[in-house]
Amino acid sequence: MMERPFAEVASVGVAVPSGILTNADLSRVLDTSDEWIVERTGIRERHIATAEQSVAMLSHDAATRALAAAGASAADLDAIVLATASPDRLLPSTACDLQALLGAENAAAFDIGAACPGYIYALTVAEGLIASGQSRTVLVVGAEKLSTITDFEDRSTAILFGDGAGASVVRPSTVPGRGILSTYIKSDGRLAPLLYRPGGGSADPISEKVVCERSHYMKMAGREVFKAAVLAMAEACDQALRRAGITAGQVDLLVPHQANLRIIEATAKHAGIPMSKVMVNVDRYGNTSSASIPLALEEALAEGRVGPGSVVLLVAFGAGFTWGSTVIRW
Ligand code: COA
């Protein structure tokens, strides 16, 4: 195996729509309450994009900030790896729309469909592109407009999801020891029907039936997903730490996927990391799938909770099922 790190995460930029949907807003149209949602999930509000704000546009705003923070330009990009579960169109990729918006004329561009761990999957691909010498500057994006695939008549899912985008410039490590120390990605497709969109794809193309049955929206078996998420996030933490050759005590900040505060607490407990070293912003964003980790990471950077030399553990779980983790020395 080659010596790590090959690649560093040079920056994080985010874009968040200004529209806010609170628990009080939801409880006016659904049989739910702020108390129930906060107690079961920790979520208080989520951001919702306008009809005009596409995933590519949110990605563009996040990417522009990430490029500026890394001192890079769109022309420097060799690849754009965009993770999303809510692409603007099914063909072509949202990454290609982003490439056009950025004017990143030297970049290959493609989407990754790995649901909530999408940013970690994309980082893993970026690291591989850099390690192989294929690319030098890679833009990794996690961007979602989950409000368009959420059934706002289903109280068990409508309360959970939000919109947003995060992006990072990934490039060869510039400082010895700084960068991605380990990655771990995993999946179990047998469990797909526990969290999926049954209709609207080529297996059951969009039709009057699909629309009437509302099967183009996300369906979820919440309790089963909850249990699987706790187990998978625990395993992923162990794997990333083992592969990086470090212990939980050496982690300065755990940045878990922001789906549910109870899942985050269980993950931290298993990893042996106190909540004082865990980034939490699920209360203000809900679950933004692939955007969730960069949104939390950017906030941690802005608050000074991550800085040069910090050891950060990222971990996520989502539809597929997919899960993954990475240890980064900042
Ligand atoms: N408001 C009020 N009651 C609700 C509700 C809501 N928004 N949603 C569900 N309920 C009700 C259910 O109908 C059920 O009622 P019943 O007992 O009369 O049948 C009761 O609450 C318990 O439902 P249950 O699904 O067992 O609750 P839960 O404690 O598991 O919480 C979730 C539901 C969805 C919050 C929880 O399962 C969860 O977070 N799962 C993981 C979801 C997730 O993170 N998915 C993305 C992974 S990336």
Q: Does residue 3 surpass a pLDDT of 90?
A: no
Burial bucket for residue 10 (CB in 10 Å: 0-12, 13-18, 19+):
buried
Structural domains for the chain = 7-176 (3.40.47.10), 180-329 (3.40.47.10)
51, two tokens: 């009809």
pLDDT at 61 over 50: yes
User: 3-state SS of the chain: helix, strand, coil percent to 5?
Assistant: 40, 25, 35
Quick check: 275 pLDDT over 80? yes
Answer yes or no: 287 catalytic: yes
| Percent over 70 (pLDDT), the chain | 99
The residue annotated as part of the active site, out of 116, 216, 237, 260, is: 116
Given this model, what pLDDT does residue 4 score?
A: 85
The 10 Å CB-count burial string (b at 16+, else e) for 253-274 is bbbbbbbbbebbbbbbebbebe
Question: Alpha-carbon distance 112 to 116, whole Å?
Answer: 11
Given the CA of residue 262, which atom of ligand 1 is nearest to it?
A: 39
Residue 62, Cβ neighbours under 10 Å: how many? Answer: 29
Instruction: Specify the ligand 1 atom closest to the Cα of 26.
Output: 7
Segments of the chain assigned E as strands: 7-9, 13-15, 20-22, 45-47, 79-83, 108-112, 138-145, 163-172, 179-187, 195-196, 219-220, 253-256, 311-318, 322-329
Does the beta carbon of 27 lie inside 6 Å of ligand 1? no
Confidence (pLDDT) at 1:
45
- In single-letter form, the type of residue at position 66 comes to A
The pLDDT score that the predictor gives to residue 282 is 98
Please tell me the residue having the least CA distance from ligand 1 atom 42.
Answer: 222
Question: Which is the closest atom of ligand 1 to the Cα of 257?
Answer: 48
Average pLDDT over residues 297-322: 98
Distance (Å) from CA 204 to ligand 1 centroid:
27
Give the total residue count for the chain: 330
Average pLDDT over residues 80-103: 98
How far away, in angstroms, is 261 Cα from ligand 1 center? 13
Residue 2 has pLDDT above 80, yes or no: no
As a whole number, mean pLDDT of residues 28-36 equals 98
DSSP 291: G
pLDDT in tens, 109-160: 999 999 999 999 999 999 999 999 999 999 999 999 999 999 999 999 999 9
pTM exceeds 0.95 for this model: yes
Instruction: Establish whether 237 is a catalytic residue.
Output: no
Whether the pLDDT of residue 20 is over 90: the answer is yes
Hey, what are 35's tokens? 């108390």
Q: Is the CB of 229 under 6 A from ligand 1?
A: yes
- Distance separating alpha carbons of residues 159 and 180, to the nearest angstrom: 34
Q: What percentage of the chain carries pLDDT values higher than 90?
A: 98
Q: How large is the average pLDDT for residues 254-281?
A: 98
- For residue 214, the model assigns a pLDDT of 98
Please state, rounded to an integer, the average pLDDT across all residues of the chain.
97
